[in-house]
Amino acid sequence: MRRRIYEMIEKGEPDDKLSVNYDRFMIFCILMSILPLCFKDSSHPVFFWIDKITVGIFIVDYILRWGTADFKLKGSNAFLKYPFTFFAIIDLVAVLSSLTPLNSTLRAVRVLRLPKCMKPLKILRYSKGFHMMMRVLQKEKENLLTICYLAVGYILLSALIMFQVEPDTFQTFLDAIYWSAITLMTVGYGDIHPMTDIGKVVAILSSFLGIAVFALPTGIITAGYLDEISRKKNK
């Protein structure tokens, strides 16, 4: 019985109609749960009942997944590990955000609404592309971590140089880090920018290096994604 429940709620066979219909039903519930978040005034009775019904469904789904965690996770501590997995945390936050009693202050209500915005992330569970991307990130994590260290080093070095050559423009080292980070990502808001000739030269060099550093993970992820697609086709 538990095995059949696991096959239904997780990815079953393509011809398993029960599993396919369950996925479609959960996607519909997720989309419906997002509907009240699209309106500033979500106190309408219809929105209230949509929220309560969908949260009830999410609770049942969470319990079923937890109760069949040993089929998915390896080891004897599967039931203890499951609440700390990525999707389990998203499911729990989506549920608790609706069960948390609202405070009377407007600010508290706004803060408590933020976790509800994680509800759309539940739909990622049913995305084959997302699962494929997660496998690529897991496979290439060492290369991506190396690039991450390189990017952080670049940001700190560039910020340190700019902080020395532009002491009047950057009041604090944090301002220089902020400028360096948005330069690395080639965003360039323009709210903080170098004023001296030396600072502009440093900015130009930083922009070129930023493009190179930013392009590295894109190439690695793209290559890994294509390899994953090729491997899947050759099965």
Helix 141-165 vs helix 128-139: crossing angle, to nearest 10: 70
Q: Are 151 and 70 members of one domain?
A: no
Side-chain-facing half-sphere of 141: CA atoms under 13 Å? 5
One-character DSSP codes across 103-140: PSSHHHHHHHHTGGGGGGGGGGGG-HHHHHHHHHHHHT
- Residue range of the domain that includes 13: 2-126
Which distant-in-sequence residues (6+ apart) come within 8 Å of 210 by Cβ? 154, 183, 184, 185, 186
In angstroms, what is the C-alpha Rg of the chain?
A: 24
CATH code of the domain in which 218 resides: 1.10.287.70
Assess contact for 37 and 117: CB atoms under 8 A.
Answer: yes
Same domain, 18 and 119: yes
Given 74, 101, 126, the domain boundary residue is 126
The answer, as to whether pTM is greater than 0.85, is: no
pLDDT at 14: 65
Tokens of 220: 């690695």
| 75 falls within a domain | yes
Q: Is-contact 9 69, C-beta < 8 A?
A: no
Claim to verify: residue 111 and residue 190 sit in the same structural domain: no
Residue 76 lies in a domain: yes
Is there a single domain that holds both residue 89 and residue 65? yes
Handedness of CA 48, 49, 54, 60 (dihedral sign): positive
CB 74 within 8 A of CB 58: no
Residue 38: its pLDDT value, please? 73
What does the pLDDT read at residue 102?
A: 45
pLDDT at position 91, please? 83
86 and 153 share one domain: no
pLDDT value for 117: 58
Number of domains observed in the structure of the chain: 2
Please list the pLDDT of the chain residue by residue as tens digits (235 residues): 888 888 788 765 667 788 888 888 888 888 888 787 777 676 788 888 888 898 899 899 889 888 888 888 877 788 888 888 888 888 887 787 777 654 444 444 444 445 555 666 677 777 777 778 888 888 888 888 888 888 888 888 888 888 888 888 888 888 888 888 887 777 767 778 888 888 888 888 888 877 777 788 888 888 888 887 887 777 6
